[in-house]
């Protein structure tokens, strides 16, 4: 056997081995070698959403991406990510949860900037959903007067409704409210609407009507459903949960008086950790869940209206508007809800919430 023949055989063997070692790239653009993306998030319907998304992602990536969703809860998930960052042992790729937790991770420098130019699916979303470091999966719009229909009716309210509805002296001790130390969603709304001193003045007047401050928003919702309170701060989707899911005697009316934008926003966002073990695949997951067919899943399971305009009209959004009597205050579409929503910068607020909550504690609760 000549040296030439040996060289040729060796070359062919090496080429074959290299071909076997290189992952096959499918038509969908994903490597055949599976990439595992770990997501820390919240339980409840969110788990059902991610179970559906996990199956869709596996199918659309032809097995190239496997999502592992851990419904740890936003506060424990936040704590775990911080611990991993301190130890240098990072196992998390994506964090999915309510503000201000993803935004606090942005402030701490732990979330990667999003490369939107290489993520065409994200371009389908409403522009407000595309933050520099966090992608808003959906939002809850706060600024609804939720009321128990066993005690109050729509005729009780003078339309259009003002935030003053919570200050009616006849409701003393019957107003349900959430403690900002546990759920501060209303603090940025009050500051944006009423100003640096005005928000404290309003909170003092509100305090006179509040029976008990609930530790969590779900506690406040359930108190209204039971009739422990007659009126409470709601968002549009909370009314849907109370009336449609829990079958409680609850309805809502949006606050549209006194300012062009009267609703606050609490985003549920997702971001990729800078130390993500599978960062490239994590961004692919973010891109995929932004598209219409993925975003529609959250509406189909009754979680929340999506940020993708292609998902409308949809029965969930229409039912949500109806349960909030939105037509009575001139709101005919989910897009119009966003037009009445304050553009709250939650990344900025994540760093100053603690100071404002301390103001409330000192000047309102302990005064």
The token pair at 121 is 């699916």
Q: Does the pLDDT at position 242 exceed 60? A: yes
* Percent of the chain with pLDDT strictly greater than 90: 90
Q: Does the pLDDT at position 7 exceed 50? A: no
Measured over the CA atoms of residue 56, residue 57, residue 59 and residue 63, the dihedral's sign is: negative
pLDDT tens by residue, 283-292: 999 999 999 9
pLDDT tens by residue, 71-82: 999 899 999 999
Collapse the DSSP code of 344 into the 3-class scheme (helix H, G, I; strand E, B; otherwise coil) and give the result: coil
Query: Is-cis flag, bond preceding 100, omega within 30?
Result: yes
Q: Are 264 and 349 in contact (CB under 8 A)?
A: no
pLDDT tens by residue, 27-46: 345 545 899 999 999 999 99
Q: Give me the torsion for CA of 197, 141, 46, 273, rounded to 10°.
A: -60
Predicted confidence at residue 59, as pLDDT, reads 98
234 against 5, higher pLDDT = 234
What does the mean pLDDT of the chain come to?
Answer: 92
Check residue 4 and give left, alpha or beta (phi > 0: left; psi -120 to 50: alpha).
alpha
Q: Does the pLDDT at position 171 exceed 90? A: yes
Fold of 28-138+266-317: D-Maltodextrin-Binding Protein; domain 2 (3.40.190)
Q: pLDDT band at 18, cuts 50/70/90? A: very low
Q: pLDDT band at 24, cuts 50/70/90? A: very low
Q: Does the pLDDT at position 50 exceed 70? A: yes
Question: 6-20, 216-230, 262-276, 300-314: which range is least confident on average?
Answer: 6-20
pTM for the complete prediction? 0.88
Predicted confidence at residue 74, as pLDDT, reads 86
pLDDT tens by residue, 268-302: 999 999 999 999 999 999 999 999 999 999 999 99
Residues of the chain with CATH 3.40.190.10: 28-138+266-317, 141-265+326-365
Kindly write down the DSSP assignment for every residue of 209-249, as one continuous string: TEEEEESSHHHHHHHHHHTS-SEEEEEHHHHHIIIIIS--S
Question: 112-116, 150-154, 215-219: which range is least confident on average?
Answer: 215-219
Domain 141-265+326-365 has CATH 3.40.190.10: yes
**Section 211-239 average pLDDT:** 96
Collapse the DSSP code of 121 into the 3-class scheme (helix H, G, I; strand E, B; otherwise coil) and give the result: helix
Q: Does the pLDDT at position 10 exceed 50? A: no
């Amino acid at each position: 056997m000549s040296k030439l023949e040996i060289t040729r055989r060796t070359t062919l063997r090496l080429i074959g081995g290299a071909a076997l070692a290189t992952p096959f790239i499918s038509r969908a653009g994903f490597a055949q070698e599976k990439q595992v993306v770990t997501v820390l998030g919240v339980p409840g319907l969110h788990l059902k959403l991610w179970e559906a998304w996990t199956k869709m992602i596996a199918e659309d990536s032809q097995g190239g991406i496997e999502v592992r969703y851990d419904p740890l809860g936003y506060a424990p998930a936040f704590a775990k990510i911080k611990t991993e960052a301190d130890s240098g042992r990072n196992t998390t790729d994506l964090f999915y949860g309510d503000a201000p937790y993803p935004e606090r991770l942005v402030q701490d420098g732990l979330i990667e900037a999003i490369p939107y130019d290489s993520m065409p699916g994200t371009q389908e979303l409403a522009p407000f959903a595309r933050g520099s470091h966090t992608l808003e999966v959906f939002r809850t719009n706060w600024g609804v007067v939720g009321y128990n229909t066993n005690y109050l009716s729509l005729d009780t309210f003078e339309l259009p409704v003002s935030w003053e509805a919570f200050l009616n002296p006849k409701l003393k001790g019957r107003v349900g409210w959430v403690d900002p130390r546990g759920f501060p969603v209303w603090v940025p709304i009050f500051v944006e609407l009423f100003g640096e001193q005005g928000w404290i003045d309003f909170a003092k007047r509100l305090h006179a009507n509040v029976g008990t401050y609930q530790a969590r928003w779900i506690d406040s919702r359930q108190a209204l459903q039971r009739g422990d309170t007659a009126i409470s701060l709601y968002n549009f989707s909370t009314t849907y949960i109370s009336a449609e899911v829990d079958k409680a005697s609850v309805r809502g009316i949006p606050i549209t008086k006194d300012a062009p934008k009267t609703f606050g926003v609490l985003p549920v966002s997702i971001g990729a950790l800078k130390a993500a073990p599978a960062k490239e695949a994590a961004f692919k997951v973010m891109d995929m869940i932004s598209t219409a067919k993925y975003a529609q899943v959250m509406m189909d399971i009754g979680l929340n209206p999506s940020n993708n305009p292609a998902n409308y009209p949809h029965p969930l959004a229409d039912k949500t508007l109806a349960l909030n009597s939105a037509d009575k205050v001139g709101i005919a579409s989910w897009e119009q809800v966003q037009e009445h929503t304050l553009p709250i910068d939650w990344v900025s607020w994540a760093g100053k919430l603690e100071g404002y909550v301390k103001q409330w504690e000192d000047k309102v609760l302990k005064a």
